[in-house]
Amino acid sequence: MEVCPENALMKNVKQVREAVILDRTRCTSCGKCVDLCYPNAQRMAGTKVTVGELVAEVTKDLPFFRSSGGGVTLSGGEPAMQPTFSYNFLLACNQRGIHTALETTGYARWEVMSKLASVTDL
């Protein structure tokens, strides 16, 4: 299937009806197959964003945060599963004076949790 840059889509030749198999080990969630899926059998859930894009979005609420004492809570999925992104986002919020909280299961190495805690207010 030419649409997939990772060759994660294959025709299932074992079935009578034409079907497509998705090899999730190759899929990078680029969304190209979703955009071209005629029967709309696939959907993208969520959106990939950079730390900068997310910070720009939450910065729009700075006036509200300042007047209410509120801030940002980073929660699940599990923020500790993306420790670099979570750390950089929380650090950027701190640098802008945005109060931060972290909701996590705590199921991560101590080094990860300690680093995230260092940029978390609550």
- The total domain count for the chain is 2
Residues 59 and 84 in one domain: yes
The pLDDT assigned to 60 comes to 97
**Contact status, residue 83 vs residue 116, Cβ threshold 8 Å:** yes
pTM, rounded to two decimals: 0.72
Residues 57 and 36 in one domain: no
**Contact status, residue 103 vs residue 86, Cβ threshold 8 Å:** no
Count Cβ atoms below 10 Å from residue 88 Cβ, excluding itself: 17
Residues 68 and 31 in one domain: no
**Contact status, residue 77 vs residue 99, Cβ threshold 8 Å:** no
Residue 122 belongs to a domain = no
What does the alpha-carbon distance between residue 121 and residue 98 come to, in Å, rounded to a whole number? 9
| CATH number for 78 | 3.80.30.10
**Contact status, residue 42 vs residue 9, Cβ threshold 8 Å:** no
Residue ranges making up the domain that contains 27: 1-45
Residues 35 and 56 in one domain: no
| CATH number for 19 | 3.30.70
Query: Quick one: tokens of 35?
Result: 């955009």
The pLDDT assigned to 9 comes to 87
The pLDDT assigned to 45 comes to 82
Give the β-pairing of 71-74 and 20-22: unpaired
Place of tokens 């650090």: 91
pLDDT in tens, the chain (122 residues): 678 899 988 887 776 667 788 898 999 888 888 877 777 777 888 888 999 999 999 999 999 999 999 999 999 889 999 999 999 999 999 999 999 999 999 999 999 999 999 999 99
